[in-house]
Amino acid sequence: MRKILTRGALTLAFLAGPALAAGGGGFKLLDTHFKFEGPLGTYDYAAVQRGFQVYKEKCAACHSMSLLSYRNLRDIGLSEAAVKAIAADVMVDDIDDKGAKVERPGRPSDRFRSPFANEAAARAANNGASPPDLSLIVKARVDGARYVYSLMQGYDDMAKASAADRAIMDGYAKKATGDAKATFAMATGRNFNTHFPGMQIAMPQPLRDGDVTYVDGTKNDLPQLSKDLVSFLAWASEPKMEERKNTGVKVIIFMLILAGLMYAVKRKVWAGVH
């Protein structure tokens, strides 16, 4: 048994390279600027709130965000009452005084409710692919913010692919099968998405123009919805980012002054020596 595992793991490690090459490259991610980028960037909380709405309405049916609790939504500027109402909207499993399983309305201290009871149920409902938890998705992908932003807009009609695109797609197929004549073909239950590694994703297009209506009247075309959504997912990946950057500025200033002082002391001490 171990021999098999051993061999398997090593072979996987050594074959891993080509698989990556098959996944990366190809279509460039869409470009956009997020306010939270850069050493001093901060979250745009209006966008984060709108993004939460998008998640709640369009993604929560399939994707859990189990690292978040409803109370965390206070940090993006929602009122206590609003958080309570959002939590109370879902039913969560619990155990009553007599030990019986019950369902009760959620409280702010509850974790975001997961849509599926377990991984098997999630797979069964999604063509055998399980929708990943989104709590850390922006950190868990290379250039995560831009990647999710592009993924949302990467659904396309395969028939319309240009000759150059075709060549890239066939390249994937060649790498994946090791057959120099292989051409790209969609598997059943998969959707064509130019930004997903391998270009075939089990998730049907989850977001389209006008899918979510914002109360504040912000426009709701696909790029805007995607951008707001990513703002929310980025905040969820690192809620302490602003604290980190703010502390960092103070620490760096302190260290610069300390370095200056240390250098002056060193110069003074060494003045007589050389």
- Residues of the shown chain interacting with ligand HEC in the complex, contacts defined by CB under 6 A: 58-59, 61-63, 126, 129, 131-132, 137, 141, 148, 151, 201-204, 206-207, 229
The interface with another protein within residues 26-55 (CB under 8 A) comprises 39
Are 136 and 67 in contact, with CB atoms under 8 Å apart?
A: yes
How far apart (Å, rounded) are the C-alpha atoms in residues 148 and 135?
13
Between 18 and 210, CB nearer to another protein: 18
Question: Residue 4 interacts with another protein (CB under 8 A)?
Answer: no
The interface with another protein within residues 149-178 (CB under 8 A) comprises none
**Cβ atoms < 10 Å from Cβ of 230:** 28
CA 61 remoteness from chain centre: 16
Between 12 and 85, CB nearer to another protein: 12
**Cβ atoms < 10 Å from Cβ of 70:** 24
Are 39 and 154 in contact, with CB atoms under 8 Å apart?
A: no
Between 133 and 156, CB nearer to another protein: 133
Between 91 and 263, CB nearer to another protein: 263
* Position of minimal CB gap to ligand HEC: 59
- Residue 67: which of ligand HEC, another protein, none does it interact with, CB under 5 to 8 A by kind? another protein
Pseudo-torsion of CA 58, 60, 65, 66, nearest 10°? 170
Residues 6+ apart with CB under 8 A from 147: 29, 141, 195
Residues 6+ apart with CB under 8 A from 194: 26, 27, 154, 156, 165
- Residue 207: which of another protein, ligand HEC, none does it interact with, CB under 5 to 8 A by kind? ligand HEC
CB of 37 to another protein, least distance (A): 12
CB of 178 to another protein, least distance (A): 12
